[in-house]
Amino acid sequence: MANLSMFDLSDKIAVIPGGHSGIGYTAAEALAEAGANVVISARRLERCQEACLNVEKLGVKCLPVRCDVKDTGSVDDLVETVMREFGRIDILVNSAGISGDIKRVTDMSLENWDSVMNVDLTGTFLCCGAVARVMVKQNSGKIINIASASSFKAMVGMAAYSAAKAGVVMLTKTLALELARYNVQANTLSPGYFITALNKDFFDSEAGQKMISMWPMRRPGNLEELRGIIVYLGSSASSYTTGTEILIDGGQWL
């Protein structure tokens, strides 16, 4: 049991931009199950409120906050709200992101490129900077940035998304270097293909089944399979893990 206590997050405060759905919501549930109080933020407050109602069933506090990660003022307001309510931030999970249009570089508009970069990379940068300032003062903290297996391998039509996620990886490594002396660890989680409401129909299709047949495990991942690594990265068990990109893809890229 002594070893398991390293994963106990009782009374910790976790902030999760994009935590109302997908990987972000999986992180919210995982951290709450380990005892953390959770703040879920997104542009649509009602979706945050709905998610918080479910997370609170796990016996923790869950605060919904409207935030647009592309806007500096909105991110600063998020941090101020959390500090006013809880007085600290122990864990940041940057899961807000979009994939943009699937188009080749020769056909991609600047608008599409900018929209992906502004959310996936600039949004992560703004949230990291605002929260890291709090963590430096605390002399403790965990930053978990969600990138993608696409940062490892080029894919036709995914230039903006892959470039943004590769940028998140190097942003995280730099943060790890800059924050190490303040007892703040920063790591990147890079998932491969996982089943979500958005892609389930594709994986059920003939094209999706053909793709799956080429993977070592012959299946996409389930979001629940990310819970363990999220709790590890948010807990004291990862106190000597920083600047690392962790690929979880069931061997898909092999």
d(CA 218, CA 45): 38
In order of start, what are the domains of the chain with their CATH numbers? Answer: 7-248 (3.40.50.720)
pTM of the model: 0.95
Q: Which residue has the tokens 């609170």?
A: 56
Torsion region of 109: left, alpha or beta (phi above 0 gives left; psi -120 to 50 gives alpha): beta
**What's the pLDDT band for 2 if we cut at 50, 70, 90?**
low
Tell me the per-residue pLDDT of 159-194, one tens digit each, with 9 for 90 and over.
999 999 999 999 999 999 999 999 999 999 999 999
- Is 161 marked active-site? yes
**What's the pLDDT band for 4 if we cut at 50, 70, 90?**
confident
DSSP 43: S
Structure tokens at 146: 């969600």
Tell me the per-residue pLDDT of 140-151, one tens digit each, with 9 for 90 and over.
999 999 999 988
d(CA 128, CA 8): 24
Residue 70 has pLDDT above 80, yes or no: yes
Q: Which strands sit side by side in the sheet containing 141-146, from one edge to the other?
A: 62-66, 37-42, 13-17, 91-94, 141-146, 184-191, 245-248
* CB burial of residue 3 (10 Å; 0-12, 13-18, 19+): exposed
Q: Which of 25, 161, 193, 232 is catalytic?
A: 161
pLDDT of residue 1: 44
Q: How many CB atoms lie within 10 A of CB 143?
A: 27
